[in-house]
Amino acid sequence: MVEKKNFFSGFRKLRKFFTRYKILITGLIFVIIFAIVDLIFLDHSYISHEIHQIIIRIAIFSIIITLVVVLQYVSTQRIKSEEKYRLITENANDLISVINEKFEIEFYNEIAYQKLLGYSSSETIGKSLLDFINPQDLDRVVNLLKLCFKIGKAEDEIRVKGKSGEYYWFEVNGKSFIDTDAKKKGIIVARNIDEKKKAEQNLRDSEEKFAKVFHASPNILAITRMQDGICLLYTS
């Protein structure tokens, strides 16, 4: 289904290209056909040598112009695509980073980084991603990134250091890809789960405090289930 969708998407782009440059392409096809016919009749008895040379030059010139137009079109589409993805990443609430195989940050969405961690571009671009990781999570993150580059994806929950020095919990998903220069890169998407982690820790702390008070009580206490009165826990 995805392949079919991609095919039709590519076909629509190709049709749009030919529609936009149909005059140039039609002229090129005409000149090429005329030149081929001309080459078939090698004696060139029906045209002068000068006219024959002009036809060949026009054909070559048309080919060059068409190649330039095609390359310009491809470059324009690439710029539009990059701008679209830049707009998406800059307005995302999650941290998005692109790293190389040395784990150095080559791209990041600045707005989210400043909002969640407080870092500017001069404090992140070219720096190792490991510089921002809690030392207790460092070995795990190194293994995570190696796994990401090896099998193509990896995920975990880690602590990331903000500019203030405080650490925040993030749910991290990483995927590797090959860029336009045929180099392997990794894209890291990190979602802030700090409030969730704090809530879980508060719940554990409350349960531990309750358990201590419950078992330390000199009185006989019992916990029963409301719907049927079954005793779940009691002190003796």
What pLDDT tens digit does each residue of the chain (236 aa) get? 544 445 555 556 666 656 655 555 665 666 666 666 666 555 555 556 676 677 677 767 767 777 777 777 767 766 666 665 665 566 678 999 999 999 999 988 888 899 999 999 889 999 999 999 999 999 999 999 999 999 999 999 999 999 999 999 999 999 999 987 889 999 999 999 988 888 887 787 776 766 665 566 566 655 666 676 665 455 56
Q: Are residues 56 and 21 in the same domain?
A: yes
Q: Are residues 33 and 112 in the same domain?
A: no
Number of other CB atoms surrounding residue 75 within 10 Å: 10
Q: Are residues 139 and 107 in the same domain?
A: yes
What is the pLDDT, as a whole number, of residue 2?
Answer: 45
| Exposure on the CB side of residue 155, measured as CA atoms within 13 A | 5
What is the pLDDT, as a whole number, of residue 102?
Answer: 95
For the chain, how many structural domains are there in total?
A: 3
Contact yes or no for 56/32 (Cβ under 8 A): no
User: How far is C-alpha 92 from the chain's CA centre?
Assistant: 12
Q: Are residues 144 and 217 in the same domain?
A: no
Distance (Å, whole) CA 79 – CA 76: 5
pTM of full prediction above 0.75:
no
Q: Which domain holds residue 83?
A: 2-89
Q: Are residues 48 and 77 in the same domain?
A: yes
